[in-house]
Structure 1
């Protein structure tokens, strides 16, 4: 089969013939129908993340936002059958540890990050192996396409988990979203669906226009005193503020724009410029009792919640899909992320 392989960090990704994935007794083989193209793939290609021991090795197949059809099932599989249409989370738990048993499989200490480590070869490929499949996989509802499920990817999962499970969001709260790329626009749509008043921030006009289409009530063009503008528009500051980009400026602006008792939600990963470290006004945070929260992926056991929002029409991941490309074009689309030029989500679709 064919797959997009990371041969050397920063060098052009390669489309290669690779061996078929192995079927494990508790796993399945999924025929990939679609896979989102994500900024996390760009980080992986660049070799970012050594500061948290999170750099994919050379030879890794990338791609972590797939949906497809079950082709083969292992001997120990109980809940899945050949032909089932499934969504595949990138945070794969083992299904047996205390974290998984208590609904936190996305931080399973024995888990596998699909597309980022050898035990989880990724989905920019014709087929993938999914371990512990009874625990990790969720069947897709009728009417939810593979490309829409792929668009959910890590961006919707991470944003939904952060807003619905990590933060204390109440209807009518102001939510500020800093950075309107894929995860930021996902957060805009989800926050709106959860009843928040949403304010979107970006330095580009096109993403702000898209944010308005997806439910943003106010927009702020980045630059200047962004926290001051937000405090003015919200009447004192946001209840929840999201850094969806991961650079020092957006992280600090997010913290600074909060009202007292506000919650900062970190979704974006840092680059080589920050190397995982951002200076924050901790005394001010203490004085205003600001919470700093993180969100990474979503527990597989809560995937039905998010799919229920899609099935009901409350959120529409397909509305963010701007381009569908064949596997051969994935390397150039990841490389194009150097320029931050895309609006919405690009998807590899077979």
Structure 2
């Protein structure tokens, strides 16, 4: 099969022929119809993830068709349309038994613990635990984000963030996961403040339901005159819920600084060790009784509520997809994520004809 492969961290990958994967006893092989280009993939390519071993094929948010299943798979067969959470759970550890597959103790992640979906085919472990069926009328390009960015944002806003109608929600960073969070929070009846340095990203955030957009490039930091200060002013005392959807020490601190008393911060964007641990305003956390929460994907069993909202048209993840490219264009697009802010979500279609 054809796949995007890199043999050195930070060196532009190349598309080459590699062996097709085989299904494990309880796993499946998916023919990849679409896979999202995500900042997490960029972190892996840069060497920021300790699980990545060279040579490597990136890609972790995908949708496609089941090509083959192992002999112990009971619920899926070749031809099924599926997506998969980027955290593939084992289904047997104490966390899985408690329903918390998104923090499985023996999790695997395509594109990180093993070769990923920037390829014509990808292997998925524990298919009966992890595969999520897709309706026939849902485009693969739209469905790809349901494996990571959109599902991650859904759980961060709804489950971890406990959003309620009428609340103010601040979203710091309006890339794929941030725009998803804006759309989901607005659909839940919240008033959303979108914060980003890109005018294009803020324009998209407004189209996704943001009530207020704040240009962080004109208001850096987290003190007086900052984007966090703008959130405090706009919301009349601070957001009830705030998310760092980018993942940087600056956006993390700004998210906390823009909360009102007893507000809730949810960290969604990755904070790799290479950037250093963020300096958090813990005196504010204590003094205002703030909650600081993490959010790490969403388990397959939790998908129905989100899928119902997508199916009814309340949520429109299709509006976030702004570009589709072929496999040959993926290496340059991946490398460019370090400097280009981008607009919306780009999906890679490995079987796309040139």
Which bin holds the TM-score, normalised by the shorter protein? over 0.9
Q: Pick from 120, 125, 144 the counterpart of residue 150 of structure 1.
A: 144
Q: Pick from 130, 140, 159 the counterpart of residue 136 of structure 1.
A: 130
In the TM superposition, what is the alpha-carbon distance from 1:271 to its structure 2 partner?
5.0
1:90 aligns with 2:91: no
What is the aligned partner in structure 1 of residue 72 from structure 2? 76
Cα deviations by residue, 1:59-107 (Å, 9 ceiling, x for unpaired): 1211001111111121111111211100121100011222112221111
In the TM superposition, what is the alpha-carbon distance from 1:168 to its structure 2 partner?
2.3
SS in 2 for 1:298: coil
Contact 1:239 1:263 in 2 (8 A): yes
* Structure 2: gaps of 5 or more residues: 220-224
Within 1, Cα distance between the matches of 2:147 and 2:336?
A: 19
Within 2, Cα distance between the matches of 1:251 and 1:25?
A: 41
What is the aligned partner in structure 2 of residue 57 from structure 1? 53
What is the aligned partner in structure 1 of residue 3 from structure 2? 3
User: Which residues of 2 match residues 1-350 of structure 1 at below 5 A?
Assistant: 1-49=1-49, 54-118=50-114, 121-222=115-216, 223=219, 224-270=225-271, 274-275=275-276, 277-349=277-349, 350=351
In the TM superposition, what is the alpha-carbon distance from 1:272 to its structure 2 partner?
6.5
Contact 2:81 2:136 in 1 (8 A): no
Within 2, Cα distance between the matches of 1:33 and 1:88?
A: 13
Cα deviations by residue, 1:123-154 (Å, 9 ceiling, x for unpaired): 11111121110110011023111110112331
Within 1, Cα distance between the matches of 2:275 and 2:285?
A: 20
SS in 2 for 1:318: helix
Contact 1:41 1:63 in 2 (8 A): yes
SS in 2 for 1:250: helix
Within 2, Cα distance between the matches of 1:273 and 1:85?
A: 38
Within 2, Cα distance between the matches of 1:271 and 1:340?
A: 19
Question: Which stretch shows the higher mean deviation, 239-248 or 302-311?
Answer: 302-311
Within 1, Cα distance between the matches of 2:207 and 2:171?
A: 15
* Pairwise CA RMSD: 1.3
Cα deviations by residue, 1:249-295 (Å, 9 ceiling, x for unpaired): 211111011000001111112357623x0001111210100111111
* Structure 1: gaps of 5 or more residues: none
Contact 2:192 2:210 in 1 (8 A): yes
In the TM superposition, what is the alpha-carbon distance from 1:341 to its structure 2 partner?
3.0
Cα deviations by residue, 1:5-42 (Å, 9 ceiling, x for unpaired): 12110011121211111221211111111100100001
Question: Which stretch shows the higher mean deviation, 146-155 or 128-137?
Answer: 146-155
In the TM superposition, what is the alpha-carbon distance from 1:55 to its structure 2 partner?
4.5
Contact 2:28 2:66 in 1 (8 A): yes
In the TM superposition, what is the alpha-carbon distance from 1:304 to its structure 2 partner?
2.1
Contact 2:48 2:274 in 1 (8 A): no
Moved over 6 A (4+): none
Contact 1:151 1:318 in 2 (8 A): no
